[in-house]
Amino acid sequence: MCGRYTLRLKAEEMADQMGLPFVDGDQWEASYNIAPSQMVPVVVKDPYRQIRLMQWGLIPHWIKPRDGAKTVQAFINARSETAAQKPAFRDAFKRKRCLILADGFYEWSRTKQPYFFARQDQGLMMFAGLWSSWTSPEGEEIQSCTILTCEPNAMVAQIHHRMPVILQRTDRLAWLDKLTVEQLIPMLKTYPAEKMVSYAVSRAANSPKFNDPQFVERLEQGRLF
């Protein structure tokens, strides 16, 4: 799974790099420790390409709270191999796909040691994502998203059995277009290990309550690659 990641760019930097408007960028602050339920930047085509903030944790549009419940189930990840068939994701897979912007992600060893994974050039990653718009019983609209995951590459596999789908440059914009499931599935492949770096970082990153630049600094004694 992918349960924590980073996006260290400011809103104006993202808009400039992507060449897209960030419609609610004034509400975004760069983060070294993004956790589920937080608002995160995603690229959607609705109806034109734009960057928008959404809640991390997809709420299917059809779901209803159980009697007396104050919350509904939200899905932070979806398996890429089955998302097109699962009831929670299949509608979004067909009609509401997005790019979830990141520049690194964390995974934890069995000893709870966090490792940071990023591109070798430290550039933007674009996770394949799905999104949904859900209306609460009180009439509040919540737009939410989930990260698609896949089998890990050799680097990530040393720490975890899943990793986010990091789209190749040639597939990023196509992921947002009106394509068939058969056209989309080949895009959901494992990102090459040789294009990534990984290393151990401070255990302070273990808590989603904290957010600090030190979280992406290398601990040499815990070096992985």
Q: How many CA atoms lie within 13 A of 152 on its CB side?
A: 15
Cβ pair 49, 20 in contact under 8 A? yes
Q: Taking a C-beta distance cutoff of 8 angstroms, is the pair 131, 54 a contact?
A: yes
Residue pair 103/125 in contact (Cβ under 8 Å)? The answer is yes
pLDDT in tens, 116-162: 999 999 999 999 999 999 998 889 999 999 999 999 999 999 999 99
Dump pLDDT digits (tens) for 12-70.
Answer: 999 999 999 999 999 999 999 999 999 999 999 999 999 999 999 999 999 988 766 66
> Which residue among the candidates 98, 107, 145, 150 is catalytic per the annotation?
107
pTM of the model: 0.95
- Count CB-CB contacts under 10 A for residue 24: 14
With left for phi above 0 and alpha for psi between -120 and 50, is residue 158 left, alpha or beta? Answer: alpha
Instruction: Please tell me the total number of residues recorded for the chain in this structure.
Output: 225
- Residue-range domains of the chain with CATH: 5-222 (3.90.1680.10)
Please give the Cα distance from 104 to 4 (Å, whole number).
9
User: For 58-101, what is each residue's pLDDT tens digit?
Assistant: 999 999 887 666 678 899 999 999 999 999 999 999 999 999 99
pLDDT of residue 138: 87
Say whether 150 is catalytic: no
Q: Catalytic one among 2, 98, 145, 150?
A: 2
pLDDT at 225 over 80: no
2 as an active site residue: the answer is yes
